[in-house]
Homo-oligomer: A and B are copies of this chain.
Amino acid sequence: MNQKLNYSLRELAELAGVSKSTASRVISGNGYASPDVRERVLQAADQLRYKPSAVARAMVAKRTYNIGVIVFRDKLPIVSHTLYGRIIDEILMAAEALGYSIFLKTDREMSLRSTDYMLEQRVDGLILISRLQKNVIDYVKKFNIPYLMVNGSTEDPDVVHLVSNDEAGGERAAEHLAADGHRKFFVIAGPGEHRSHSLRLKGFCQRLESLGISSSQGQVTIVKSLDSSFESGHELMEQHFNTLREAQYTAIFCTNDMLALGAMKVILDRGMKVPEEAVVMGYDNTELSSMVHPSLSTVSVDAAGIGRDAVSILDHLIRGEENIPRLTEYESHVLVRQSTTREEK
- Alpha-carbon gap, A265 to B293, bound state (A): 6
Residues of B within 8 A of A262 (CB): 291
A120:B51 contact, CB within 8 angstroms:
yes
Closest Cβ–Cβ distance, residue A177 to chain B (whole Å)? 21
The answer to the question of A179 belonging to the interface, with a C-beta cut-off of 8 Å to chain B, is no
Closest to A4 in B: B144
B86:A142 contact, CB within 8 angstroms:
no
Residues of B within 8 A of A291 (CB): 230, 261-262, 265, 288, 292
Convert A117-131 into 0s and 1s, putting 1 for each residue whose CB lies closer than 8 angstroms to a CB of B: 101111000000000
The answer to the question of A79 belonging to the interface, with a C-beta cut-off of 8 Å to chain B, is yes
The answer to the question of A37 belonging to the interface, with a C-beta cut-off of 8 Å to chain B, is no
A120:B52 contact, CB within 8 angstroms:
yes
Q: Which of A66-82 contact B (CB under 8 A)?
A: 66, 76-82
Q: Find the residue from A5, A55, A287 having the highest chain B CB count within 10 A.
A: A55
- Alpha-carbon gap, A76 to B85, bound state (A): 11
Asked, given contacts A56-B59, A80-B85, whether A103 binds B106 with beta carbons under 8 Å apart, the answer is no
Q: Which of A214-259 contact B (CB under 8 A)?
A: 230
Residues of B within 8 A of A77 (CB): 85-86, 89, 287
Convert A162-197 into 0s and 1s, putting 1 for each residue whose CB lies closer than 8 angstroms to a CB of B: 000000000000000000000000000000000000
Asked, given contacts A78-B89, A79-B79, A89-B77, whether A120 binds B292 with beta carbons under 8 Å apart, the answer is no
The answer to the question of A145 belonging to the interface, with a C-beta cut-off of 8 Å to chain B, is yes
Asked, given contacts A5-B143, A291-B230, whether A54 binds B121 with beta carbons under 8 Å apart, the answer is yes
Closest Cβ–Cβ distance, residue A297 to chain B (whole Å)? 15
Q: Which of A273-300 contact B (CB under 8 A)?
A: 287-288, 291-293, 295
Residues of B within 8 A of A117 (CB): 101
The answer to the question of A6 belonging to the interface, with a C-beta cut-off of 8 Å to chain B, is yes
The answer to the question of A19 belonging to the interface, with a C-beta cut-off of 8 Å to chain B, is no
- Alpha-carbon gap, A96 to B106, bound state (A): 9
Closest Cβ–Cβ distance, residue A231 to chain B (whole Å)? 10
A2:B142 contact, CB within 8 angstroms:
yes
Closest to A82 in B: B80
Residues of B within 8 A of A3 (CB): 142-144
- Alpha-carbon gap, A64 to B141, bound state (A): 27
Give me 23 A-to-B residue pairs in the complex whose CB atoms sit less than 8 angstroms apart, sorted by A's number.
Answer: A4-B144, A52-B120, A54-B121, A55-B59, A55-B121, A66-B103, A76-B89, A77-B85, A77-B86, A78-B89, A79-B80, A79-B89, A92-B104, A93-B106, A93-B108, A96-B105, A101-B121, A102-B104, A230-B291, A269-B293, A287-B288, A288-B288, A288-B291
Task: List 8 A-B pairs, minimum CB-CB distance, nearest first.
Answer: A80-B85, A268-B293, A54-B120, A5-B144, A104-B104, A51-B119, A55-B58, A79-B88
